[in-house]
Amino acid sequence: MIASQPHRPISHAADAHSDSRAGELLARYRDVRHYSVGLADGLSDADATAQSMDDASPAKWHLAHVSWFFETFLLRDHVAGYHLFDDAYSYLFNSYYEAEGARHARSERGLLTRPSLAEVMAYRRHVDTAMEGAMDGFSAELLDLVELGLNHEQQHQELLLTDILHLFSRNPLKPAYSCADPVEAAEPGPLEWIEGRTGVQPIGHDGPGFAFDCEGPRHETLLHPHAIASRPVTNGEWLAFIEDGGYREASHWLSDGWAWVQQHGIEAPLYWSREPDKTWSAFGLGGHHGLDLSATVQHISHYEADAYATWAGARLPTEAEWEVAANHGLPHNGAVWEWTGSAYLPYPGFRPADGAVGEYNGKFMSGQAVLKGGSIATPPGHVRPSYRNFFYPHQRWQFCGLRLAKDL
């Protein structure tokens, strides 16, 4: 391993605007990187190494992978004199970038007892020293990559929390990650129906500010008369679905969803459990606790969300309906990512970027559904109406919920 040293970019012109932007990004870089390290406070090396399922990754893998992103796409190719911290890390911490060569199997990330958490933190410091020494000379194009890397790290900050939660849920001791669950931004009020905008409406990102490539191009879409609920569904409302036999009635479910329920014996949202006295409890980042009926329901799959909506005589909103409503004041309490009825597909005119970073979003546009909003685990400043989160219909270890919609 090579000790960290400050480095300078090979050769890039920088004007006054670039200098200003570089300074702003450097400050943000420090904040985002510090936030990630803070999420690992209190985790033992064992906590940070274990992997509870193929969909999840160990905490230290997340911490290393986001550093690999900066090292690979910025430092390695654009900073003279930069030395890789460890040549093996290019294999260990590549996620899915085929252009960057072979990589360790995702399902076996929990077998990486080495490097230790302490060594991963040393890797982060090595990358940070090089980035801080080079950023003020980066071109506008490279600063765009820095911004992509920071938003990429914020995605992994949320994944780190959801993966730790899943890991701790599999431990019979039910350890708590924190002293209390994160609090929703606002208590859910009465459910009201808000008439949505109709006709041709613009959606997608346009203008200043960061957005992932899949959020554009901005384009127009046709919305038919509809209404959208003023808030997401609560635990108490979901409990009524359970008590009415919602998980036992095939007519509520899509065919694939019903097969999933039958195959896996699904009876309730993930992390819910029925106590001996027949009451319900839940497991969260704050540990095991009684079910708060007024809180927003979390950890449900797209299959479950669709079944609930059918049972309730409603449907899921499309991503266009949700985004247009959000752009015009739709309340969002920041509790969950909200499933929509839309498949994750490219917008008209979408073109992935050239090179390895072009693999970031486009190649996943198959078989997944869009979620909108942001959750209690989403880091500050990482939400916007045009954001398109996406997961497979059966996945529910994220902070996923739903909001109802209906045709008018």
CA dist 140 and 138 (Å) reads: 7
Structure-block tokens of residue 151? 């938003």
Q: What is the pLDDT of residue 356?
A: 65
Could you tell me which of 329, 333, 322, 327 has the C-alpha nearest to residue 376? 333
Is the pLDDT confidence value at 10 over 50? no
N-term to C-term CA, the chain: 64
**CA pair distance 294, 246, nearest whole angstrom:** 20
- Whole-model pTM above 0.85? yes
Please choose, from the candidates 148, 177, 180, the residue with its C-alpha nearest in 3D space to the C-alpha of residue 59: 177
Question: Quick one: how far is CA 159 from the chain centroid?
Answer: 6
Helix (H) or strand (E) run with residue 334 in it: none
CATH number of 8-169: 2.60.120, 1.10.3470, 3.40.1710, 1.20.120?
1.20.120
Helix (H, G, I), strand (E, B) or coil at 408: coil
Asked whether the predicted pLDDT for residue 322 surpasses 50, the reply is yes
Q: In the structure, what pLDDT confidence band is assigned to residue 12 with cuts at 50, 70 and 90?
A: very low
Model pLDDT, residue 16: 55
Average pLDDT over residues 39-48: 97
Question: Domain boundaries in the chain?
Answer: 8-169, 193-407
Output the pLDDT for position 249: 98
> What would the two tokens of residue 301 be?
């799959």
Between these two residues, 28 and 181, which has the higher pLDDT value?
28
Residue in the block written with tokens 């839309």 = 342
Confidence band (pLDDT; 50, 70, 90) for 15? low
Q: How far apart are CA 163 and CA 40, in angstroms?
A: 12
The mean pLDDT value for 110-114 works out to 97
For position 6, what pLDDT does the model report? 36
pLDDT digits (tens, 9 = 90+) for 268-310: 999 999 999 999 999 999 999 999 999 999 999 999 999 999 9
Tell me the average pLDDT of the chain. 93
Reading phi first (left if > 0) and then psi (alpha if -120 to 50, else beta), residue 184 is in beta
The reported pLDDT for the residue numbered 363 is 82
**CATH code for residues 193-407:** 3.90.1580.10
